[in-house]
Amino acid sequence: MNRINVGRVIVGGVVAGVVLFFMLGGLHHKLLMVDWEAWKGSVSGVLQLPPPRHSMKLWLAMSLVAGVTGTWIYAGIRPRFGAGHKTALLAGFLLWLAGPLPGALNALALGVLPHHIIKVALGGELVAFLVSTYIGAAIYKE
């Protein structure tokens, strides 16, 4: 059995993470900005929201971790499912299934976010995770 090319996982994952960061930024900053501002206004007395600069660093770290993880999943399932588009999209879907989806279900269960934000974010995040993992997989070579 072939070994995973860790260097290519990291390179593909970092590229995928940067793509994910910008796609999620567009989703949340452009498409959902009005909803997020309304939500922040309603919880500002209850929650201690971090400064935007700190949030950006955390989102970048999350995106890089997700990018590397998605590329790693692709590298891991590639021998079983074959190299290519379908396997890359499956890896992105698995990453979304294990990350954003449980987080969204948790937010729904706790009632901490408006349903509209969760629904739009989940759909946009699915696209972002599929695209970014696809790009990371395209860079990966054994």
* Higher per-residue confidence, 43 vs 88: 88
The tokens describing 63, both together, are 């995106």
Question: What tens digit of pLDDT does each residue of 80-129 get?
Answer: 999 999 999 999 999 999 999 999 999 999 998 999 999 999 999 999 99
Q: Is residue 29 part of a domain?
A: yes
Q: What pLDDT score was predicted for residue 102?
A: 97
Nearest to 125 by CA among 23, 45, 31: 23
pLDDT at position 47 over 90: no
Q: Is residue 8 part of a domain?
A: no
pLDDT at position 12 over 80: yes
Q: What pLDDT score was predicted for residue 1?
A: 55
The domain in which residue 82 lies consists of 16-42+53-139
Q: What's the maximum distance between 2 C-alpha atoms anywhere in the chain?
A: 56
Residues 70, 90: Cα–Cα separation, whole Å: 10
Q: What pLDDT score was predicted for residue 43?
A: 86
Q: Is residue 98 part of a domain?
A: yes
Mean per-residue pLDDT over the chain, rounded? 94
Total domain count, the chain:
1
Q: What pLDDT score was predicted for residue 6?
A: 96
